[in-house]
Structure 1
Amino acid sequence: MGKALLVVNPSSGHEVGKEYAEAVEQKMQKKYDEVVVKYTEKAGDATAFAKQAARDRFEAVFVMGGDGTVNEGVNGLAEEEFRPKFSFIPLGTVNDLGRSLGISMDPDEAVAQLDYLVEKKLDVGKINDKYFIDVVAIGTIPEAVQAVEPEQKTKLGAFAYILEGLKAVRDNKSYHFSLDIDGERIEQESMAVLVALTNSVGGMETLIPEASYDDGKLHLIVLKGDNLADKLGLLPKVFSGKALDDENVIYRSFEKGRFAVEGAVDLITNVDGDPGDPLPLEISVLPQHLTVLVPK
């Protein structure tokens, strides 16, 4: 059945990447004539490995790692004319795309699921000249989340992000955003602007219940709130999946937009959990751009 590439980030998931790599390779050897295994050593390795596999017309590319490693794999495939099928074993802290696709968050179960894979189509987001598969986050809350230390993530998991986000809400700082969304102009003071591809954001699978990984849409959430009480009142609704019903939330589904911030502000984005480009940004969706292999 052709050649397949397995890209392993050995530092993901409490450094269990190497531990599971052999089991995944054995599963893949049952499906493919040849399996090539490569380990990442630095940022950009997974992108380079996936890109070369596409140019060598591999049948499939599998990635083992967190959201950042999965993002790199997709960036290696997205621009290629021939794009191998894509799959992954989630080993990171949040693993939003894995949750949306029904891939188990338990590594042993995720490896077992490799015996029962089917093909699905996956939307890919484009941000300037790069790509994303989860969420673009902008504002004071994403800034705080970006500052979470690796030691905090190892100790507290996704709860470390929640703690830092709560601190940002308490500080009550915001930015003035100018958004052009499918021709609609939105001017809004906000502490957080999110653009998501799936229903799961930050491990919360109910934040955007109507979003799907193959609906051909991007999903915008802008948190308003004129005072601290309004912002704190949003938090229970965010965690319960009812945030979109709140008057202090702007929600739109869209296909293409431009994002800017008022003033001379060097505001960095958080893209799939890692630092992204500063504003302004051009963000669009590539509908059903990749074929993914997911549990039946």
Structure 2
Amino acid sequence: MKNILILVNPSSGKKNSGDVAQIAEETFMARGWHCVTRITKQKSDIGKYTTEACAEKIDHLIIMGGDGTVSEALNALNGLSYRPIIGILPTGTANNIAIGWGMSTDIYKAIDQLVYANQEKCDVGEVNGHLFLSSLSSGTLPETVWEVSEEMKKAYGPMAYFLEGIKSLKDEKPYHFELTLDGKKFEKESTLLLIGVSHSVFGIPRFFSEANKNDGKLHLLSLDQTTLGDKMIILSKLIRNNEETGTMPSSVTIVSFEEATIDLIDDTAHVALDGEKGPDFPLNINVRSGYLTVLIPEKADKGFLFNKEA
């Protein structure tokens, strides 16, 4: 019999999480699974309940929340010898991690997806001791993360970040980075550095078209200073819902790696880590290959840009 802990963050975007958790618990118990629900009252409870789940060797930890909740739970696993199988019920403002795993943004459909999900290994990124499942970024576009108001989040959900990012395309500032990727050292001026763990970033299903969630690599995209027209071409290629992004303009560099050190020369910039404020430069980055076992639906949903349910 499976032992399941549903970890609920009621402060995540959707406010009916208690009702949804009850439906999820009843659905899982109807399958003959033993299920317990824990509702957090403060941020520290996420790590507390995750650690307790590991100590009790719970089979499945189902995280009900957004990217921030998933990230907190993930980092609570850091250094523990036992890690349960992880599933997500996406109820946050931004649910890029869950979307990258093919989870529906219709929470009731997502419950059914978990019932019939497959177990797959999943890579995790690490930067300065912090773990991440989606992306790390720095430059002009990540600055917009701090510009999105609570009103925009409530009105547009995850699209708020995308819309603010579109506005930022006309205003860019190049940053001087020093990078060492798998032992190869070089300098580069870029307006954006973005590192993804798998193919999906920002809910765009094939952002890194050649990547996979368990390929043992991290994937870097850098964007040079360029024209607005070029940037719109790049954006249109990235958000196409197909397997190939096609030939990118020369202002875009995409490369895969296992270990990296990145520093910012004579400047300051924000680092965004899974949509939250990240660590300061210099950045020491590596991949933890197959670190998690996660629940992936048999039939993946599309990303939020293409999903009418979102």
Q: Could you tell me which residue of structure 1 aligns to residue 280 of structure 2?
A: 278
**Residues 1:260 and 2:263 aligned together:** yes
SS in 2 for 1:247: coil
Structure 2 unaligned segments of length 5 or more: list them. 299-310
Q: CA deviation at 1:244?
A: 6.3
How does 1:94-243 map onto structure 2 within 5 Å?
A: 94-240=94-240, 242=245
SS in 2 for 1:10: coil
Q: Is this contact kept in 2: 1:78–1:289, CA < 8 A?
A: no
What is the TM-score when the length of structure 2 is the normalising length?
0.88
Number of matched residues? 295
1:162-214 CA-partner distances (Å, limit 9, x unpaired): 22223322222221111111112232222211110121111111211111111
Runs (4+) of structure 1 moved beyond 6 Å? none
CA distance in 1, matches of 2:247, 2:186: 17
**Residues 1:63 and 2:63 aligned together:** yes
Q: Is this contact kept in 1: 2:174–2:224, CA < 8 A?
A: no
AA of the residue aligned to 2:183 = G
SS in 2 for 1:293: strand
Let me know the Cα RMSD of the aligned residues: 2.0
- Change in Cα spacing, 1:170 to 1:9, as seen in structure 2 (3 Å) is same
1:99-124 CA-partner distances (Å, limit 9, x unpaired): 23222121110012232122111111
CA distance in 2, matches of 1:158, 1:32: 35
1:140-174 CA-partner distances (Å, limit 9, x unpaired): 21011232122211101233212222332222222
SS in 1 for 2:167: helix
Deviates more, 1:81-90 or 1:225-234: 225-234
SS in 1 for 2:86: strand
Q: Could you tell me which residue of structure 2 aligns to residue 11 of structure 1?
A: 11
**Residues 1:288 and 2:296 aligned together:** no
Among candidates 236, 247, 251, match of residue 250 of structure 2: 247
CA distance in 2, matches of 1:191, 1:17: 38
1:218-265 CA-partner distances (Å, limit 9, x unpaired): 010001134555445433333336376221111111111111101152
1:243-293 CA-partner distances (Å, limit 9, x unpaired): 76221111111111111101152x231111111111111111111111112
What is the TM-score when the length of structure 1 is the normalising length?
0.92
CA distance in 2, matches of 1:295, 1:3: 19
- Change in Cα spacing, 1:56 to 1:288, as seen in structure 2 (3 Å) is same
Q: What is the identity percentage for the equivalent residue pairs of Structure 1 and Structure 2?
A: 35
AA of the residue aligned to 1:198 = S
- Change in Cα spacing, 1:227 to 1:114, as seen in structure 2 (3 Å) is closer
